[in-house]
Structure formats: structure tokens, C-alpha cells
Chains A and B, each alone.
Chain A
């Protein structure tokens, strides 16, 4: 296997690990960690999608010739945006977890099921 594909394997592993946490972990905080893991995996995938072997950082004034030696800036902008969104999501989820613990006295997702049926 080409060593350049290794990051994609890591990204896939991160997503799978995150899904594992979502499916089998019962603690709310671990579920939030699972979401963060999936997000990290997707972000890693996005950055890798724009990488060129041996490419330079995409800085306008340092643009190399030929310009093909620069890594793509667009996926980096996308990743950045997605990180910002992830920050807001994680903060919101954690504050929900804080208040759920205050109301229900537990962080076990199996016991937080008043809304069913």
C-alpha cells in the first residue's frame, strides 16, 4: 500500500471509532467524544483530499512556480469552517449534558429516555 494513503486509513478508523462510541458507549460525555472523533476523521479526510505530495503551504505571496507545487487551499478553508462548526456543536452538546445531569442525576443514555413512544 502506498504510504500516501495511510492518512485515509486513519480517517476511516477515526470515523469508525466515533461510530463505535455512539453505538456502544452509554456515557453522554463519551458520546460527545464520539461525535468529535467522527468530525476529526472527516476533517482529516478533507485536508488529505487537497494534499499534493511535496506541496507547499498555500500562501499567496509565496506561491511557487509552477503553481502545481502548492497544496490546494480550498479543502483547508473547508476544514477550518468545519472545525469552527464543530466547536459550536461540541459546546452546545456539552452544555446539554451538564443540564441533563442536573435534571436526571445521571449521564447514562440508557436511562435518559423519557421521550419515547
Chain B
């Protein structure tokens, strides 16, 4: 009633949520077993940045949107160069895509289906 059956697998969100909450409680429990004898205000509470000093200017720390996934976009640069070239912003090209899709659809429907 509550879940979904696909005939192949099943999905029960309530059970999943209960499990998720259970694991969350477990994780919090493990966390609460951690050491409490660390010294505040010393190097023990500092952020560990591969041994580098933590920069003081907080404003400069924010990673801006274009810098995220730089590596991935760079790795896919061949794909992105081609796909961006298709989105020219020129209306005539968009109309050409429409005519092309129409022609292709005719060919498929009349010849194949």
C-alpha cells in the first residue's frame, strides 16, 4: 500500500526513512563515544589543511561557482566545446534544427514505421 512495486524491485520509503534514522542515531552514538580530553584553544582544534596554515581572510575562502567541477568540465572539454557550439543563440540556427528534426522524423516514420 505504502511502497512501490515495479515487478522487479520494491521501494518502501517509510522503511528506508526508519533505517536512515536508525543509522543516524548509531552514527551520533559513535560520535558521542569520542575523546573529550582534547584541549580547547590549542592546535588540537585547528582545521587541518594538509599541514598548511588556515588563511585568516574568511572572505577569500569561498569557492565561486565557476571554480567548482573545474576538473570535470576540463576533462570533458571536447564534449563541451561541441555542445556549446550548438547553442549559438542565433534564431536561424534554432529554426534549422527544427527543420532538420522534422525531416528526420518524416524519413523515420515513412520509411521505417
* A–B proximity contact (CB within 8 A): yes
On chain A, the residues within 8 Å of B92 by CB distance are 22-24, 26, 109-110
Looking at the assembled complex, report how far the CB atom of A103 sits from the nearest CB atom of chain B, in whole angstroms. Answer: 15
Interface positions of A from 77 to 117, Cβ below 8 Å from B: 109-110, 112-117
Looking at the assembled complex, report how far the CB atom of B96 sits from the nearest CB atom of chain A, in whole angstroms. Answer: 6
Q: Does B47 contact A (CB under 8 A)?
A: no
Chain B 94-111 interface mask (CB, 8 Å, partner A; 1/0): 011001000000000000
Q: Does A115 lie within 8 Å of B89, measured CB to CB? A: yes
Known pairs A19-B99, A23-B96; A117 contacts B90 (CB<8 A)? no
Q: Does B91 lie within 8 Å of A31, measured CB to CB? A: yes
On chain B, the residues within 8 Å of A110 by CB distance are 90, 92
Interface positions of A from 13 to 40, Cβ below 8 Å from B: 19, 22-24, 26, 31
Complex Cα spacing A110 to B89, Å: 8
Q: Does B42 contact A (CB under 8 A)?
A: no
Looking at the assembled complex, report how far the CB atom of A40 sits from the nearest CB atom of chain B, in whole angstroms. Answer: 18
Looking at the assembled complex, report how far the CB atom of B21 sits from the nearest CB atom of chain A, in whole angstroms. Answer: 43
Q: Does B99 lie within 8 Å of A113, measured CB to CB? A: no
Partner of A23, one of B87, B88, B89, B99: B99
Q: Does A114 lie within 8 Å of B99, measured CB to CB? A: no
Q: Does A117 lie within 8 Å of B91, measured CB to CB? A: no
On chain A, the residues within 8 Å of B99 by CB distance are 19, 23
Complex Cα spacing A31 to B89, Å: 16
Chain B 36-72 interface mask (CB, 8 Å, partner A; 1/0): 0000000000000000000000000000000000000
Complex Cα spacing A112 to B91, Å: 9
A112-B91, A113-B89 are known contacts; what are 11 more A-B pairs with Cβ within 8 Å? A19-B95, A22-B95, A23-B95, A23-B96, A23-B99, A109-B90, A109-B91, A110-B90, A113-B90, A114-B89, A115-B89
Interface residues of A (CB under 8 A from B): 19, 22-24, 26, 31, 109-110, 112-117
Interface residues of B (CB under 8 A from A): 84, 87-92, 95-96, 99
Closest 8 CB pairs of A and B: A116-B89, A113-B89, A22-B95, A109-B91, A117-B87, A117-B84, A113-B90, A116-B87
